[in-house]
Amino acid sequence: DEVHMFSKSSFNALLKTLEEPPAHVKFLLATTDPQKLPVTVLSRCLQFNLRALSPAQIAGHLAHVLRQESIEFDSAGLNAIATAANGSMRDALSLLDQAIAFGGGRVERDAVVDMLGLTDHAALLDILRHLATGDASALFATLEQVMERAADPAGILAQLLELLHEIGLQQFLPQKNESADDPFAEARDELATALDPEQVQLWYQIALTGRRDLPYASSPRAGLEMTLLRMLAFLPSSAGAKTAMSRAATASASVPRTPPAQASVSPTSAKAAISSFEPRPAEASEPTSMQLATEVTAPAMPAVVSADAPWEQIIPQLGLKGPYRALAEHCALRREDGQALLVVSAEHAGAATEAIRSRLIEATSAFLGMPVKFVESGKSTMTTPASNRSQREAAARERARQELDESPAVQVLKHRAGASMIEDTLQLSDKEPTKE
């Protein structure tokens, strides 16, 4: 077991045996880190990747062991142990031994929950009920009772995530979570029916984010409380619209109005109050100067580029992106005998695939209104928009280097500290310098 812990000399000795194994010997090597084994050992072994056991499989085997040992147990306690084992039968058996000792020779759910430091499932269900009803006082009263048992905030969020996962499955796959031995199945079914699926998904995402951000909170409990407050405050988009309408109806019904002398004193329902309400037409007013400026000033139109414009100005009008735009910037445009020639240098001709050429020719021909032909130049370099831009950038970099080199601060650093400028690290700013 854990064969990756062998030393180098131990592996060498094992390798000699594996090269000529005796017929009556079978080596069974187990490890959780196969990448740590030497390649020479791995190449001489058959590898089997074992998957983790499901909680149901672990609970079933634990029940078989307890029946053989004539030890009383309940299924809820075994399910808690199986979940805590995280797919490992070895860990499950170790926890089972602890649970038997902790429970005085019995395995019961309450004792297992206390031993593992878990939060009671009933309290988690109460938390979700209070979130559903929006009762903040009851929510934090339940949380206070849970925290009195020294519960771990991260563990509470993990159990809430597990519970929301079960409720979400129950909403879409009712048969998946059916269990005759689960005492909380009925309560989960009620929540799955009462809660909106969008609400369950939103709570799950909030709890997941809250658990991730828990180490960054001022304290674990504060992080847990803020997570619950977010779950209490936020609603799905569809539910938010309904809630806003409901609040508006309630506000309209509760605002006192001065009734006319002939009015009846019978109360008006919220629905009637909303239906009878008609907004007043907006009164005409003199437009302000800001309104006039907004209405009169027309949006700036993009500059119109003609077909006779330089190629560098035409390229942005073609709507090309990615490799098509890159190839266009490495071409030169020439007009001869009623047709246009796109000339590319030999250095960049390799990037001109058939698909890129066709797209570039099509876009250029549509803009110029004339046939376009693609030509490869024998020259390695030529004047193109890309080369012009490189020259401008080089000139700007040289000017910036000279200005920086002549600045008083740099001169002081050079003379007093013996500093020197690393020109490769010089970066040009996109913003124009401000002059004061």
pTM: 0.49
> How far is it, in rounded angstroms, from Cα 132 to Cα 194?
9
H or E element that contains 411:
helix 408-417
- Per-residue pLDDT at 275: 44
- Per-residue pLDDT at 237: 61
Could you give the domains of the chain? 3-42 (no CATH), 55-116 (1.10.8.60), 121-238 (1.20.272.10), 308-420 (3.30.300.150)
> How far is it, in rounded angstroms, from Cα 102 to Cα 115?
7
> How far is it, in rounded angstroms, from Cα 117 to Cα 59?
19
User: By three-state DSSP, how is residue 330 classified?
Assistant: coil
H or E element that contains 375:
strand 372-376
> How far is it, in rounded angstroms, from Cα 218 to Cα 260?
57
Amino acid type, 38:
P
> How far is it, in rounded angstroms, from Cα 248 to Cα 79?
47
**191, 125 Cβ separation under 8 angstroms:** yes
Count of CA atoms in the C-beta half-sphere (13 A) of 345: 13
Beta bridge partners of 262: none
> How far is it, in rounded angstroms, from Cα 65 to Cα 165?
30
The residue behind tokens 């045996």 is 17
Tens-binned pLDDT, residue by residue, of the chain (436 aa):
888 888 888 888 888 887 887 888 888 888 888 888 888 888 888 888 888 899 999 999 999 999 999 999 988 889 889 989 988 898 999 999 999 999 899 999 889 988 988 888 899 999 999 999 999 999 999 999 999 886 789 999 999 999 999 999 998 887 655 555 677 888 888 999 999 999 999 999 999 999 999 999 999 999 999 999 999 998 776 554 444 444 444 444 444 544 444 444 444 444 444 444 444 444 444 444 444 344 444 444 445 667 778 888 888 888 888 888 888 888 888 888 888 888 888 777 777 788 888 888 888 888 888 888 888 877 767 888 888 888 888 888 888 888 888 888 888 888 887 788 777 777 776 655 544 4
Structure tokens given for 182: 């689960």
Count of CA atoms in the C-beta half-sphere (13 A) of 360: 31
**325, 357 Cβ separation under 8 angstroms:** no
User: What Cα–Cα distance (Å) separates residue 92 from each residue in 57, 88, 102, 115, 159?
Assistant: 11, 6, 15, 14, 19
The distance from CA 231 to its chain's CA centroid, rounded to whole angstroms, is 18
> How far is it, in rounded angstroms, from Cα 265 to Cα 143?
46
**98, 157 Cβ separation under 8 angstroms:** no
User: By three-state DSSP, how is residue 342 classified?
Assistant: strand
> How far is it, in rounded angstroms, from Cα 54 to Cα 60?
10
**114, 84 Cβ separation under 8 angstroms:** no
R_g (Cα) of the chain, nearest Å: 38
Nearest CA among 387, 342, 389, 330 for reference residue 367 = 342
- Per-residue pLDDT at 368: 85
Pairing relation of β-strands 372-376 and 339-344? parallel
> How far is it, in rounded angstroms, from Cα 207 to Cα 209?
5
> How far is it, in rounded angstroms, from Cα 372 to Cα 368?
9
pLDDT 10s digits, 279-318: 444 444 444 444 434 444 444 444 566 777 888 888 888 8
> How far is it, in rounded angstroms, from Cα 19 to Cα 13?
10
> How far is it, in rounded angstroms, from Cα 244 to Cα 255?
17
> How far is it, in rounded angstroms, from Cα 344 to Cα 333?
9
Order across the sheet with 339-344: list the strands. Answer: 331-336, 339-344, 372-376
> How far is it, in rounded angstroms, from Cα 129 to Cα 51?
36
The distance from CA 336 to its chain's CA centroid, rounded to whole angstroms, is 55
> How far is it, in rounded angstroms, from Cα 107 to Cα 71?
8
Amino acid type, 297:
T
